[in-house]
Chains A and B, each alone.
Chain A
Amino acid sequence: MRKTSVSALLFDAGNHVFFILLACTTLLPFVYLFSLSISSAETSFATIRLLPTHATFRNYEVVLHNPLIGYGFINSIVRTVLGTALSVFVTVMTAYALSRSYMPHRTFWLIFITFTMFFSGGLIPNYLLVKSLGLFNSVWALVLPSLVQTFQLIIARNFIMTIPEALEESAKIDGAGEFTVLFRIILPLSLPIIATLSLWTAVGHWNAWFDSLIYISEAKKQVMMVVMRNIVLSGQLPDVFDASPSTAVVTPETLKAATIMVTTLPILVVYPFVQKYFVKGMLIGSVKG
């Protein structure tokens, strides 16, 4: 049995306090953001408060009525859904092929693919490629360049390799072809890894901004992250909110906060429910295959 000494009790107490403080430090910026987003123009910033002296939802009204933010949301949703579906589809097919022992020149193809993890053309060649493919101002510029993530491909392949080959062999004896094996046997058994890949890819697409910044120039085709970035970081707030009525009760700071809040909310809402899948996926990935 464990003896509980005084020093052990002290350590436990200190450890708990440490983690509570750490959790507060993690959450504080988000709490502050929320507080700022419901502040009205009269709110004083002389002292630190958890909640503002004058609360209002006017900021959100102004933000949500802005057409660019509406477009931004739609564009983000389109790229996320399309990008995730296509990425997972191609990743699983490629992973399946690479997991078969009878695949011709398998080692060569594996090296061919993993080499790209260690060496890449870089920013400018990629930019010129997307340009020469004529993908500017198209959602394909946001979907195709990141279609397969090599790390995810390797994880998917490792997972598929753990599925007993006997299943495939017996199906092939019964006359099943390559497509039947993949879609009827491998795919249903790979649902856990597919769920993880989908979540990773979806979060990646929702958060992505740089590709949209450099490949999309039409304001109506811009994703939410860049709309938000233009308002908050690039000082385009006056242009974006120019026509908004009664901006007198809101301030640039509170409007910015509400804009960030609106962009973050989808992740904050979904996060607690999907968090464990991310952790699981991370652990599957760390097992060497």
Chain B
Amino acid sequence: MNSPRRSHPLGNYWRHRKLMLLFLPGVLYYIVFHYSPMYGVTIAFKDYHILKGINGSPWAGLEHFRMLFALKGFWDVFTNTILISFYKLVFGFPAPILFALLLNELRSILFKRVIQTVSYLPHFISWVILAGIFIQFLSPSIGPVNIALKSLGFEPVYFLADSNWFRTILVSTDIWKDLGWGSIIYLAALAGVHPELYEAARVDGANRFAQAKYVTLPGLVPTIIIMFIFAVGKLITDDFDQVFNLYNAAVYDVGDVISTYTYRSGLENMQYSFATAVGLFKNIIAFVLVVATNQIARRYSDYSLW
């Protein structure tokens, strides 16, 4: 067999054919399971019919998007998504930073380890399980929270079916689940702060509070910026697993988010094209958000994702 000439652009692939053979399964996976669904997105611009398939279904132009934007229900869902993410950002973002700063002040290594092991645990438990636990834990009849409320003379609250409470539950259970795990990245950054900086601060008469403020916290700033970019970039991305397992029809008005809405309209009501349009709209915003926040980070600091 002729070995292709060096100048041929694909010659390198032949020369490294064994390496490419190792690469092949991976690249096939990405083509089939990532890029072909991107082509599948075209059904957002068609009237998808299950028997006609993607290519056989007639074009519908921007029909589904027009319908989507005119739908009040969609904007409610959109608002819910942003609001819940915003609350999670406001309350959930500082929590692991505070956790790391306080944990850093603990001296007993054993105590630290025990606290870390315990606090990382919920991260590994799926929302299906946690939802099952919380539904019982917050139950108006047998849940300890309501038993405590009743014994204090309050009316029991059906937390998961009460629109006034549902978002609070989403935000607080989210913090509960990932507080410890989220702190790991900050603890790693703290471990990287030079001990000499603390010594120098002590020589200058800084007490522990001043050391935390002038040495520890500045050491965390780069990590905080990166994590904040990640978080803002995810404002439109909701936690399907959490909401889907905790919510019910009584709290759709405050708890229904884009992903659960997509699921119900697409897979329960079989509006494939409409649901794809919803998903595409969300994905485009998410993409723009990530790129934009990264540009901002690059302009104002040395830290960015790419």
**B-binding residues in A (CB < 8 A):** 2, 5, 8, 11-12, 15-16, 18-19, 22-23, 25-27, 29-30, 32-33, 36, 45-48, 90-91, 93-94, 96-98, 100, 102-105, 109, 112-113, 116, 118-129, 132, 144-145, 147-148, 153, 177-179, 182, 203, 207-210, 214, 225, 228-229, 232-233, 253, 256-257, 259-260, 263-264, 267-268, 271-272, 275, 278-279, 282-283, 286
Contact = CB atoms under 8 A, between A and B. Distances in A.
A121 B30 contact: no
A248 B57 CA distance: 55
A282 B184 contact: yes
A125 B38 contact: yes
B144 A15 contact: no
19 contacts: A32-B137, A46-B147, A94-B25, A104-B20, A112-B30, A116-B30, A116-B35, A121-B36, A121-B39, A124-B279, A125-B276, A128-B272, A129-B32, A132-B53, A144-B29, A207-B125, A214-B267, A233-B132, A268-B121
B37 A121 contact: yes
Nearest to A48: B144
Task: Assign chain B's interface to a size class.
Answer: 35 or more
Contacts of B139: 253
Given A29-B137, A210-B240, 11 more contacts: A12-B105, A22-B119, A26-B119, A96-B22, A124-B262, A125-B37, A147-B29, A253-B136, A264-B125, A278-B120, A278-B124
Interface in B181-221: 184-185, 188, 202, 207-208
Nearest to B185: A286
A30 B259 CA distance: 28
Contacts of A232: 132, 135
A86 B64 CA distance: 39
B223 to A, nearest CB: 9
B173 to A, nearest CB: 9
Given A27-B118, A228-B129, A47 B147 contact: yes
Given A121-B40, A122-B37, A109 B54 contact: no
Main secondary structure of the interface of B (DSSP, over half): helix
Given A19-B106, A124-B279, A253-B136, A178 B151 contact: no
Interface in B47-70: 53-54
A228 B141 CA distance: 22
B147 A128 contact: no
Contacts of B245: 229, 233
Interface stretch (B10-18, B83-91, B162-170): B10-18
B288 to A, nearest CB: 10
A123 B129 contact: no
B33 A147 contact: yes
Interface of B: 10, 12-13, 16, 18-23, 25-27, 29-30, 32-41, 43, 53-54, 102-103, 105-107, 111, 114-122, 124-126, 128-137, 139, 141-142, 144, 147-148, 151, 176, 179-180, 184-185, 188, 202, 207-208, 240-241, 244-245, 259, 262-263, 266-267, 272, 275-276, 279-280, 282-283, 286-287, 290-291
Nearest to A127: B267
Contacts of A19: 102-103, 106, 111, 115
A104 B137 contact: no
B133 to A, nearest CB: 5
Given A121-B40, A145-B33, A147-B33, A29 B133 contact: yes
A179 B23 contact: no
- Where chain A touches its partner, the secondary structure class is helix
A124 B276 contact: yes
Nearest to B290: A118
A282 B185 contact: yes
Contact of A123 (B126, B134, B275): B275
Contact of A260 (B39, B129, B275): B129
Contact of B125 (A97, A103, A148, A267): A267
A105 B12 CA distance: 9
A121 B277 CA distance: 10
Contact of A225 (B40, B43, B128, B276): B128
Given A16-B111, A286-B188, A124 B25 contact: no
A143 B103 CA distance: 39
A121 B22 contact: no
A121 B276 CA distance: 8
A275 B117 contact: yes
A126 B129 CA distance: 25
Contacts of B266: 123-124, 127
Contacts of A179: 18, 22
B176 A103 contact: no
Nearest to B240: A210
Contacts of A278: 120, 124
B26 A90 contact: yes
A48 B275 contact: no
